[in-house]
C-alpha cells in the first residue's frame, strides 16, 4: 500500500483558505488520491478524489503535483463547521476498494 504522511494538526482562520498537504511518495500509477473528513464522533465523509489532474467540487479543490508524490486539499473559505480530522488516502486497487486511513490532520477553524 502507498502510505500517506500528513501534519498532525493545523489551525485556520474562519473565512480564509485552508491548505492541507499530503505526501504519498510511493503512490503507483493507477492509484487515486482520496480525501475524507471526520467530524467528531461521526462517520467519515467523502470530500474529493483525483488521479492526475486537479479537481474541484462544491466542497474543495485538490491539487496533485505532476510527479503525483504529493497533493494539497484546499478549502477555499473555511467555516467553523469545517473543523474536523482530514484524511488523505491512496486507494488500493486490489483487495476490494479498501481504504487505509492514517492519522489524518486535525484542522481547527478559529473565529
Query: What minimum distance in Å lies between the beta carbon of 32 and another protein?
Result: 6
Spatial CA neighbour of 2 closest among 77, 89, 82, 66: 89
Determine if 11 is a binding residue for another protein (CB under 8 A).
no
30 binds another protein (CB under 8 A): yes
Q: Would you say 23 and 32 are in contact if contact means Cβ atoms under 8 Å apart?
A: no
Ordered DSSP codes for 55-87: EE-SS-EEEE-TTSSEEEEEESS--GGG-EEEE
22 makes contact with another protein (CB under 8 A):
no
* Residues near another protein (CB under 8 A), total: 23
Site string for another protein, 46-85 (x = CB under 8 A): x--x-x----------------------------------
The grid coordinates of residue 21 equal 498537504
Cell numbers linked to 24: 504519498
101 binds another protein (CB under 8 A): yes
Beta partners for 46?
A: 36
The smaller minimum CB distance to another protein, of residues 58 and 97, is found at 97
Comparison of 16 and 46: residue with beta carbon closer to another protein: 46
Q: Which of 43, 37, 41 is nearest to 22 (CA)?
A: 37
| Chain residues that interact with another protein, rule: CB under 8 A | 30, 32, 34, 41-46, 49, 51, 87, 93, 95-104
Amino acid at each position: 500500500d502507498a502510505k500517506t504522511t500528513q501534519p498532525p494538526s493545523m489551525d485556520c482562520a474562519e473565512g480564509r483558505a485552508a491548505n492541507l498537504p499530503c505526501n504519498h511518495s510511493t503512490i503507483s500509477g493507477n492509484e487515486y488520491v482520496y480525501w475524507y473528513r471526520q467530524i467528531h464522533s461521526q462517520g467519515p465523509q467523502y470530500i474529493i478524489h483525483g488521479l492526475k489532474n486537479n479537481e474541484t467540487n462544491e466542497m474543495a479543490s485538490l491539487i496533485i503535483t505532476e510527479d503525483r508524490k504529493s497533493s494539497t486539499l484546499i478549502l477555499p473559505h473555511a467555516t467553523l463547521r469545517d473543523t474536523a480530522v482530514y484524511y488523505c488516502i491512496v486507494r488500493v486497487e486490489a483487495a476490494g476498494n479498501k481504504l487505509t486511513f492514517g492519522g489524518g490532520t486535525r484542522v481547527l477553524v478559529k473565529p
